[in-house]
């Protein structure tokens, strides 16, 4: 009996101890990582802000002072906060530290989600020469539908973005389009929206619609009216939303037929968007049901539309 009691007591003591050890270890690791990353970010920021270009030795010292993961995360952190010429200095740091080459080597060893995450990190690096050199190797992968492979390639060679997006075999989501537009904006690439909207490729159409909505391009209304009739419900819905955002004409029969194909929650979202953009009930009443008209007028008469529109 006594030996069993001893075993039970040992187990009872061991369990909380194990928990405390796991917790303590996790906390120490997290603190150490935060501290090192803060130091690394400060060092990179100093290198960027100094007037003279930092020496290769100073940049390379990041590699042996910190682990590669911390340097990559720090560069990623800084890259999100800066723009313009500072990005070129950061690209130089990434090149001297060979972050892109390291990531490319790791990509070869990983599969599935881990691989996609590495591609995501590659796409966040400022202009990367190594990725540009090997870009064509990843085109096959991006043609298979790996979005982040395509994002990495677009980030490395933004001047060929339209070509890469056109060759992408998967269907882009709105978030993926937003990521691509963010990459293009960060790299300072100018893209004409009209050829994108006139294209037959769904992904290019989505990028065009996103650009129109993001920059409120009212000139694109005829193209958007055409895309509202698209057989692809996703394209049609996003074109409808963009049309609302640019305050285009929503009383047309194209809009009516597009609305009839939408799910109830999509129609509801459209109504809310129309109220936000200060449309009157008369502008789209003939497309709506009686209940929807009541909801629409109630929304317009509430204080909300006055807050948003004024």
Partner 1 sequence: MQLIFILSLVWLVGAIWFVSWWHRTYRRTSLVHLLREDVGHIGVSAIVAYPETSAPLVALLEEEYPRSEAIFIADLQQQESLLSELVVRYHLVKVNHLHLTGARALYRSRRRTYRRVVVVDLPATHSLQAFDVGKAVASYDNLLYLRGESVVEPNALAYCANVVASQPSSRGLQLRSVVGADAYFERGDVANSERVVRLCADAPLAWRRGAQIFALTAMFLPSAMILSGHLLDSKIMLASAVVLIVATGLFLYVSCCVVTKKSLIARLDTVLRNFYRFMVERIATIRGSRIHDTPPCLFRVRVRNRPAHYREDSPPKRSHPSRPMP
Give the torsion sign (CA, 8, 14, 20, 23): negative
- Of residues 233, 253, 257, 309, which one binds partner 1 by CB under 8 A? 233
Give the range of 56-64, 93-101, 189-197, 297-305 binding partner 1 by CB under 8 A.
297-305
* Helix, strand and coil in the chain, % to nearest 5: 80, 0, 20
What is the chain's Cα-based Rg? 26
In the complex, what is the shortest distance from the CB of residue 96 to partner 1, in angstroms, rounded to a whole number?
Answer: 26
Q: Are 253 and 229 in contact (CB under 8 A)?
A: no
Residue 175 binding partner 1, by CB under 8 A: yes
Residue 272 binding partner 1, by CB under 8 A: yes
Q: In b/e form, how buried is each residue of 131-146, taking b as 16+ CB within 10 angstroms? A: bbebbeebbebbeeeb
Residue 282 binding partner 1, by CB under 8 A: no
Give the torsion sign (CA, 3, 9, 13, 14): positive
**Residue that is written with structure tokens 């980030």 in the block:** 155
Please compute, for residue 16, the number of CA atoms within 13 A of its CA located in the half-sphere on the CB side.
Answer: 4
Please report how the helices 2-49 and 56-65 are oriented relative to each other, as an axis angle in degrees rounded to 10.
170
The site that binds partner 1 (CB under 8 A) totals a number of residues, namely: 53
Q: What is the DSSP letter of 158?
A: G
Token representation of residue 188: 């300072």
Residue 7 binding partner 1, by CB under 8 A: yes
**Residue that is written with structure tokens 């590495």 in the block:** 118
H or E stretch at 17: helix 2-49
Give the range of 20-28, 125-133, 191-199, 281-289 binding partner 1 by CB under 8 A.
20-28
- Of residues 30, 32, 42, 198, which one binds partner 1 by CB under 8 A? 30
Residue 86 binding partner 1, by CB under 8 A: no
Nearer to partner 1, 58 or 269 (CB): 269
- Of residues 69, 144, 226, 304, which one binds partner 1 by CB under 8 A? 304
Q: Which of residues 115-174 bind partner 1 (CB under 8 A)?
A: 116-117, 120, 148, 173-174
Nearer to partner 1, 46 or 83 (CB): 83
Residue 113 binding partner 1, by CB under 8 A: yes
Q: Are 164 and 153 in contact (CB under 8 A)?
A: yes
Residue 213 binding partner 1, by CB under 8 A: yes
Residue 11 binding partner 1, by CB under 8 A: yes
Query: Binding residues for partner 1, per CB under 8 A?
Result: 1, 4-5, 7-8, 11-12, 15-16, 19, 22-23, 26, 30, 112-113, 116-117, 120, 148, 173-179, 182, 210, 213-214, 233-234, 237-238, 241, 245, 263-266, 268-269, 272-273, 276, 298, 301-304, 307-308
């Amino acid at each position: 009996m006594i030996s069993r009691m001893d075993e039970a007591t040992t187990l009872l003591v061991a369990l909380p101890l194990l928990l405390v050890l796991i917790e303590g270890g996790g906390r120490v690791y997290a603190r150490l990582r935060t501290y090192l990353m803060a130091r690394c970010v400060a060092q990179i920021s100093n290198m960027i802000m100094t007037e003279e270009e930092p020496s290769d030795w100073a940049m390379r010292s990041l590699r042996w002072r910190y682990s590669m993961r911390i340097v990559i995360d720090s560069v990623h952190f800084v890259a999100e906060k800066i723009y313009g010429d500072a990005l070129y200095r950061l690209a130089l740091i990434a090149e001297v530290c060979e972050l892109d080459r390291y990531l490319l080597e790791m990509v070869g060893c990983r599969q599935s989600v881990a691989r996609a995450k590495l591609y995501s990190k590659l796409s966040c690096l400022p202009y990367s020469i190594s990725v540009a050199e090997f870009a064509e190797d990843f085109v096959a992968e991006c043609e298979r539908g790996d979005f982040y492979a395509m994002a990495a390639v677009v980030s490395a060679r933004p001047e060929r973005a339209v070509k890469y997006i056109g060759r992408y075999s998967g269907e882009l989501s709105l978030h993926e389009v937003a990521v691509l537009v963010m990459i293009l904006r960060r790299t300072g690439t100018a893209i004409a929206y009209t050829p994108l909207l006139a294209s037959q490729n769904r992904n290019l159409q989505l990028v065009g619609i996103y650009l129109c909505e993001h920059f409120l391009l009212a000139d694109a209304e005829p193209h958007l009216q055409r895309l509202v009739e698209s057989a692809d419900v996703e394209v049609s819905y996003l074109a409808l939303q963009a049309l609302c955002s640019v305050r285009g004409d929503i009383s047309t029969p194209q809009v009516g037929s597009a609305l009839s194909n939408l799910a109830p929650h999509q129609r509801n979202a459209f109504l809310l968007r129309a109220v936000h953009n200060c449309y009157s009930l008369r502008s789209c009443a003939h497309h709506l049901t009686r209940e929807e008209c009541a909801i629409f007028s109630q929304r317009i008469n509430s204080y909300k539309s006055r807050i948003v529109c004024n």
